[in-house]
């Protein structure tokens, strides 16, 4: 299939990605949504998770945490608070962040900001998954 869709991912710090692709799947706050060429114009807030896109039949993964997605004229624009290509993710760091979040959950008697801790845990798990999906060539 031809790469008829353009995707751009930017964060406040940098341009993460600009590619011609076949398909984009993204973690909306209401659940995952998919975009093929000729999709109707669409706007969604983003949650924490992994965006994936298909290019020349191959799946690629990008970790996303918050922001907005806009779809218009065969262009998907992702304005993310945080975004990392799977290849940029430091899995050891994500494993340590996951461990810290799990330890905070276990210390339930202490003052823990549960929502903040859940978000940390979700970020760590999504980062670890982004790397393993990439390694397994798209079998997530």
The binding site for ligand ATP (CB under 6 A) comprises 65, 82, 84, 88-90, 93-94, 97, 120, 123, 127
The DSSP 8-state label assigned to residue 11 in this structure reads: -
Nearest approach in angstroms of CB 83 to ligand ATP is: 7
- Which residues pair with residue 79 across a beta bridge? 10, 68
Q: List the one residue out of 48, 52, 122 whose CA is nearest residue 86.
A: 52
Smaller CB distance to ligand ATP: residue 87 or 136? 87
Smaller CB distance to ligand ATP: residue 37 or 128? 128
Smaller CB distance to ligand ATP: residue 120 or 129? 120
Q: List the one residue out of 69, 61, 63, 74 whose CA is nearest residue 22.
A: 74
Nearest approach in angstroms of CB 105 to ligand ATP is: 15
Q: List the one residue out of 76, 91, 90 whose CA is nearest residue 37.
A: 76
> Residue 19 and residue 2: Cα distance in Å, rounded?
13
Nearest approach in angstroms of CB 116 to ligand ATP is: 10
Smaller CB distance to ligand ATP: residue 23 or 66? 66
């Amino acid at each position: 299939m031809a790469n008829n869709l353009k995707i751009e991912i930017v964060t406040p710090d940098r341009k993460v990605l600009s590619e011609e692709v076949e398909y984009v799947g993204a973690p909306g706050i209401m659940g995952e949504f998919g975009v093929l060429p000729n999709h109707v114009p669409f706007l969604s807030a983003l949650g924490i998770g992994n965006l994936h896109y298909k290019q020349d039949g191959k799946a690629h993964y990008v970790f996303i945490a918050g922001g907005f997605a806009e779809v218009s004229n065969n262009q998907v624009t992702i304005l993310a608070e945080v975004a990392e290509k799977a290849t940029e993710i430091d899995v050891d760091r994500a494993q340590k962040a996951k461990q810290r979040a799990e330890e905070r959950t276990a210390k339930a008697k202490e003052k823990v900001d549960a929502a903040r801790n859940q978000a940390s845990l979700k970020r760590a798990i999504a980062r670890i998954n982004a790397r393993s999906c990439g390694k397994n060539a798209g079998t997530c």
